[in-house]
Amino acid sequence: MKDLLTGLLTRRGFHEEAQEVMKDSGGAGGFALVWFNLDNFKMFNSRFGFDRGDEILKEIAMILSSIFLRDDKKILLARFSDDNFVVLTDWATVELKIDRVQEYLYTLHENITLRLRAGIYFPSEGEDIRKACDRAKLACDNIKKNHSVSSCMFHEEMSKSLALQQHILDNLELALNKNYIRVFYQPIINLKTEKLSELEALARWNDPELGLISPAEFIPTLERYREIHKLDVYAMKKVCDDYSQCRQKNLPLFPVSINLSRLDFELCDIINEIELATAVNNIPREMLNIEITESINDEDTSVLNLGIEKFRALGYEVWLDDFGSGYSSLNVLKDYSFDTIKFDMKFLSGFDINKSEKAKYIISANLSMARLMGMKALAEGVETEEQLAYLKSIGFDKAQGYYFGKPMELEKIYSELISRDVSKPANI
């Protein structure tokens, strides 16, 4: 079974032949399985067209064939899908050959940045080839955001990560139905009044089997497998329920910001979901802020752009979360309209008022830019009195971080935060 474009084996053909090759080796082993992925291939197709993209894929197939095949009959090459290639080869020279592949690609395309990432796995005797391929892919995915390296070997920690991802996907519905996922709130402080001004709603997963699962684990997993809208709609409805209950108890009411993924605008009618929930709970639109992360610029965002404009037209504030966390910050500000920018905590990481002149310049310059564009500025990740004093001195509107309080249950917000001076450090 051959791939029509490249002439290499298909996924199915590779699985069948690779299992036989490994079986015929008599348990001698010595194999390496390599998963190759071409970075940003969708962007390449968008820029140069699909015909040019097909040419690149055929060139990669030729490069892999010339470097790996030679006259060794035990080596197998396959194109699994789109820009994913897999090689079964001898383990002894695998890293050298991977380097040669990348060098050859650079030589052919000096004027275009093409990066072919590689994940390496050494299958054991009798191991199922499909599971071996999954592990090679996991190693490849592990360096997706690390542009300083082009290859990575599988290790057992990755296997644990794979098992955790599967647990998250298998148990999401149960966690939502059983309230294993709960909404916590982190205070946002108005730096002019030094009082609590808003809250940010954050999902926390306490699994009966695994304990606390970090948002850094379950949110990227749900986004990767396009399940994130289920979590975001659930959290939004919980926020609306909490707001309604606070009003019934005559408690002070604060605007709440909720986090949305770019995918929410594709996977469900998120605007209608929010409109229904606010209507049912009689919540004014100005009491619900929409936070969208800076990574929105990673893909085609025409649907998202329309969504943002509709939210703002309806009367919701839309905030840009994690500004400065990626490479696309300025493009995001150019392409979209926001009411507030949340400066990523990395700006403040290790910040010392007496030592970090560069950090101060970066923060001050970005604040001036936000002002010129008519946006408010919020600093997240504030941890020290020195950071707070500097942010106030240059005119930040709001701040949040552990200095004021960790994410906490709503009851704690009212029992602890309302009764104390929130401009003072939290007792955590």
* Per-residue pLDDT tens over the stretch 305-359: 899 999 999 999 999 988 875 544 666 777 788 999 998 766 666 566 556 677 7
426 has a pLDDT exceeding 90: no
CA dihedral 392, 393, 396, 398 (to 10 degrees): 10
293: left (phi over 0), alpha (psi -120 to 50) or beta: beta
- Interatomic CA distance for residues 214 and 249, integer angstroms: 32
Q: 3-class SS at 268? A: coil
Based on its alpha-carbon atoms, the radius of gyration of the chain, rounded to whole angstroms, reads 25
Give the C-alpha separation, 175 to 12, whole Å: 35
Q: What is the pLDDT of residue 186?
A: 96
Same fold, 11-154 and 163-417: no
Task: Report which of 224, 234, 286 is spatially closest to residue 257, judged by C-alpha positions.
Answer: 286
Q: Please tell me the distance from the alpha carbon of residue 88 to that of residue 104, in angstroms, as a whole number.
A: 20
Q: Which helix (H) or strand (E) holds 364?
A: helix 357-372
Residue range 376-383: average pLDDT?
A: 91
Tell whether the model's pLDDT for residue 41 goes beyond 90.
Answer: no
Higher pLDDT, 422 or 150: 150
Residue 327 confidence (pLDDT): 44
The CATH H-level superfamily of 11-154 is Reverse transcriptase/Diguanylate cyclase domain (3.30.70.270)
Domain locations in the chain as residue ranges: 11-154, 163-417
Higher pLDDT, 298 or 366: 366
Backbone angles phi, psi at 91, to 5 degrees: -70, -30
What Cα–Cα distance (Å) separates residue 123 from each residue in 17, 88, 138, 262, 384?
15, 10, 14, 37, 49
Which pLDDT belongs to residue 93? 86
Euclidean distance between CA atoms 150 and 380, whole angstroms: 33
Weakest-pLDDT range from 4-13, 63-72, 239-248, 256-265: 63-72
The residue among 334 and 257 whose pLDDT is bigger is 257
- Note the CATH number of domain 163-417: 3.20.20.450
- Answer yes or no: are the C-beta atoms of 20 and 73 closer than 8 Å: no
Q: Name 413's Cβ contacts closer than 8 Å, sequence gap at least 6.
A: 185, 187, 199
pLDDT digits (tens, 9 = 90+) for 161-213: 878 988 999 999 999 999 999 999 999 999 998 899 999 999 999 999 999 99
Q: What is the model's pLDDT at position 247?
A: 95
Better-scored residue on pLDDT, 120 or 359: 120
Q: What is the mean pLDDT of the chain?
A: 86
